[in-house]
């Protein structure tokens, strides 16, 4: 499976990369960085360091957008969640490689043209790079394979605003363009990621593994759990947002229930900017917007077992 990952590492992004790079069937064609959890200089460096750690140092890393389509860094960064260095203040060995000259958007377009219908995209940060790629190549929805986007909160509370999830809220215009472009797209929202929790028992199993991959991931998660504890969840645990999206890209069968409907992003509401608005009625109203697939139930325990196996 040929995959391009667009990401803002980020602790859960790091675990998603750990998961993907452990799969022998994955041909990782490139990684695009983007602003989000931290500034893009930090997320680009983290992508390089993580690929070095996971023995994929030669995978091209392309620096992406440093701000939203409107030129903002809306809502700021998430250093309180991921640390000032984006990886829970855990220092990784530096990579011998540098980012390629192409931007993330241009690199994705080049890959799609070179391998029409074969490149699958995993978006783990804002949709900015994918929206920019769409502007460069309007036929991109036909050139790409499957697209999985981790983002949004459809029927549950948001995590940065009452009804807005961070990846969508930090560039609502980009998310709206991507969700309406006609990609073969699965949206993996907080509706399912907040039910896919690395619990204290799961974290203890991870800590017992004797490998660099497991040891570093366990250290990342110590910081991440520290933020989650008592805020987003009642127990000592953390949500596996981005790893779950990676798992669903590799195995769509992890999704046990889904809704197929148009999804808009609210762009102007005083209290609802960044909200993902899906028409969940039994008989949706008329809408010329292409539908996307929203995961509404997943095999969380199966995926968490697979993630442990990959990290071991």
Active-site residues, by number, are 8, 241
What's the angle, vertex CA 292, arms to CA 291 and CA 298, rounded to 5?
145
Q: What whole-number distance in Å separates Cα of residue 60 and Cα of residue 6?
A: 12
3-state secondary structure of 190: helix
> Under 8 Å CB-to-CB from 90, ≥6 apart: which residues?
83, 216, 219, 220, 223
Spatial contact of 142 and 99, defined as CB atoms under 8 Å apart? no
In whole angstroms, give the CA distance from residue 233 to residue 231: 6
- Total count of residues recorded for the chain: 312
Q: Within the chain, where are the H helices? A: 11-21, 40-53, 79-82, 104-114, 128-136, 140-143, 166-169, 172-179, 190-193, 200-207, 212-228, 241-250, 300-311
| SS3 label, residue 252 | helix
111: cis peptide before it, omega within 30°?
Answer: no
- Per the DSSP assignment, residues forming a β-bridge with 147 are 121, 185
Check if the beta carbon of residue 64 is closer than 8 Å to that of residue 40.
yes
């Amino acid at each position: 499976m040929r995959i391009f990952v667009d990401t803002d590492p980020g602790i859960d992004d790091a675990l998603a990369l750990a998961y993907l790079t452990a799969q022998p069937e994955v041909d990782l064609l490139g990684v695009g960085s983007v602003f989000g959890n931290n500034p893009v200089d930090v997320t680009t460096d983290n992508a390089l360091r993580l690929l070095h750690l996971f023995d994929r140092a030669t995978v091209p890393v392309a620096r992406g957008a440093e701000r939203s389509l409107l030129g903002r860094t809306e809502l700021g960064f998430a250093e309180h969640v991921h640390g000032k260095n984006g990886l829970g203040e855990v220092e990784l060995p530096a990579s011998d490689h540098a980012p390629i000259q192409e931007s993330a958007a241009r690199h994705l377009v080049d890959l799609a043209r070179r391998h029409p219908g074969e490149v699958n995209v995993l978006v783990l940060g804002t949709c900015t790079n994918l929206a920019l790629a769409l502007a460069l190549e309007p036929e991109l929805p036909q050139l790409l394979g499957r697209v999985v986007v981790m983002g949004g909160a459809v029927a549950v509370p948001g995590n940065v605003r009452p009804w807005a999830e961070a990846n969508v809220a930090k560039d609502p215009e980009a998310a709206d363009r991507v969700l309406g472009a006609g990609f073969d797209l699965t949206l993996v929202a907080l509706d399912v990621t907040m039910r896919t929790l690395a619990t204290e028992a799961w974290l203890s199993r991870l800590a017992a593994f004797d490998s660099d991959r497991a040891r570093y991931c366990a250290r990342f998660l110590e910081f991440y759990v520290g933020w989650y504890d008592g805020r987003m969840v009642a127990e000592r645990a953390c949500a596996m947002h981005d790893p779950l999206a990676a798992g669903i890209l590799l195995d769509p069968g992890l999704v046990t229930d889904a809704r197929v409907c148009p999804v808009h992003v609210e762009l102007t509401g005083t209290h609802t900017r960044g909200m993902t608005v899906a028409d969940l009625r039994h008989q949706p109203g008329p809408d010329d917007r292409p539908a996307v697939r929203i995961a509404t139930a997943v095999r969380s325990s199966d995926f968490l077992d697979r993630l442990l196996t990959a990290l071991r």
